[in-house]
Amino acid sequence: MTRHAERVTQPRPQERAPTSERTVSIFIGSAVSRDTEGKPRAGGGIWYGQENPRNMALQLLDNEPQTFQRAEIAATLIAVQQTARDQPLEIYNSKSLVGKELNQRLQAREDRGWVGMADRDLLQALAAKLRARTAQTKFCNVDARTQDSTHLALQGRREALTLAREGCLHGEQTLINLYIAPADQLRGAKLSTLTQAVAYAGIKERREPVARRTTANNIKLISAAIQQVFSLCPTPMEIWKSIRHKDFSRQVKNFLWKSVHGAHRIGSFWTHIPECGERATCSFCNETEDLEHVLIKCRRPGQTQIWSLAKNLWLRKHHTWPEPSLGSALGCGLAIFKNERGKISPGLTRLYRILISESIFIIWKIRNDTVINRAGEPVPENLIHNKWLQAINLRLTFDRILTNHAKYGKQNSIKSCLVLQTWSSTLLNEDSLPGDWIKQPRVLVGIEPKSSHPSSQPSGRRGRGR
């Protein structure tokens, strides 16, 4: 179905120049791929027609965010710049990202001075260019799932996407003209609609971000680990976004954010405080107790056992276990696992995120219980085992609850198929469970808890007389 959105630019009658030229139809496509080094690449495609010399495959510059939306806006801006001002124009795309921004949200964006808006440099230039046109401009959305779309529209959509994919890997990086005439440029926010929150956000944007050496080193560490384990080269923006992944609990998100910033009170933090230098050293290993030592290298009971439990549960579902490192643990939100056909496996990837994030957080909590609350006394192995098992079973229970109950909101709900894909092959007595086990009253992962009683004595009551 080809839907015509509200007209974006309706020039005033006295400004419209009479023209007899036919309407120009332009098809826009966008795509994101990764190059041979694993770096993300975004490209756009502009298709005018078969064997048209103006067909273009463009690639975003290295210093720009590599996203679908930015590639589509860039391609749209170039197409508008290459079209005469007095020539009617129809722009077709498959996602209608640009049409929604310009038709429905443009006024609100300009009223708040574009504060906090992504890709505002491109959108501002595009809005100014459209306002300067004297002919009509339409944005059209092509939906391939309906029978109302014309053959030309579907063909244009396919050709534009082909050009966009070609631009991701082989297109030339395009420098886009972002010049806005002073008469068309709007500066600042509209005072009558300005709020304190928008004003505060605008002030923060004007400040230069504070450079933190520890944060920069951790970002590089995560990027190198993800590239080594998963053959990806994430950008800093992707790393920060992965820390807020919806598969993580709120406590885990806070822990990861502090970890990347080096905000935990461990290791070198204590060396700068008088009479507290001994706290920088692990009392069990006699080594500097930085975050890598706590999560990966420490020989204190708990860390090795938890990684062993996570590995055993993972091997029930997958044949290989990526050995954890500090970078891969902090960047587990970027992990990607593929099936035999080479496509991303959502269930396998989600299980890995849950196992790694919950494991490192349990290790951290056990370390705090050992060092602070128990004055260095080791936590019993059976308690460590049961704590980890309780955390994983709690995540499984939450998945079942959020699937069965819509009252928790659409944002928190999880599709039942994703829950089944995540936990299949890891459950206790799974052969006796039905295919759709989500509504079963009690479902647990396939690791038994450990009893706290000595093995030489039977379980139950003991130590009482007759």
Say what the pTM is: 0.79
Find the range with the poorest average confidence among 26-35, 256-265, 369-378. 369-378
| Weakest mean pLDDT among 171-180, 316-325, 347-356 | 171-180
Judge whether 376 and 367 are in contact, CB under 8 Å: no
Could you tell me how far CA 402 lies from the centroid of its own chain?
21
The ranges assigned to domains in the chain are: 2-184, 214-439
Q: What is the 8-class DSSP label of residue 82? A: T
Radius of gyration of the chain (CA): 28
What CATH number should be reported for the domain whose range is 2-184? 3.30.420.10
Going by pLDDT thresholds of 50, 70 and 90, the confidence category of residue 426 is: very high
* Span 217-231, average pLDDT: 94
Contact call for residues 173 and 60 (beta carbons, < 8 A): yes
Ranges 17-31, 209-223, 367-381, 432-446: which has the least confidence: 367-381
Structure tokens at 264: 């935990």
Which residues are bridge partners to 288 per DSSP?
Answer: 281
The confidence band for 373, taking pLDDT boundaries of 50, 70 and 90, is low
Establish how many alpha carbons lie within 13 A of residue 28's alpha carbon, considering only the half-sphere containing its beta carbon.
28
Range in 162-166, 201-205, 313-317, 450-454 with the lowest mean pLDDT: 450-454
Question: Residue 197: which residues within 8 A CB-CB, separation 6 or more?
Answer: none
